[in-house]
Amino acid sequence: MARVNRADQLDPEAVEIAHVFNRLVRRCFLLGEDPLTGINYDHRKNWVEAMIEVQAKYFAIDLLGFSIIENQSD
C-alpha cells in the first residue's frame, strides 16, 4: 500500500506542530567518528544546524527545537 501524500495530511491553512526526523541509510556516516576509517565528522554539525535554520526561513517554518545526534556504533 502506498504512503499517503503529505499534502493530503496537513492543512496549509491550519497552524500545526509536526515532529520531523530523518536518518541515513546503508551505514552512511555523517557525524561523529567513523569506526571504519577513524575520520571524525563532528565539523559537519555546524553546517547541518545552519542549513536547518536557513531552510526553516525559506519554508516559513517556526522552528521550535531540533537535535543533531551523531551516528551510533554497532
Residue 33 pairs in a beta bridge with 40
What is d(CA 60, CA 21) in angstroms, rounded to the nearest whole number? 18
pTM given for the model: 0.62
Does residue 44 carry a pLDDT above 90?
no
Instruction: Please list, residue by residue across 20-40, b when 16 or more beta carbons sit within 10 angstroms of its beta carbon and e when fewer do.
Output: eeeeeeeeebebbebeeeeee
| The predicted structure's pLDDT at residue 40 | 87
- Residue ranges covered by each domain of the chain: 27-74
Q: Residue 3: what pLDDT?
A: 77
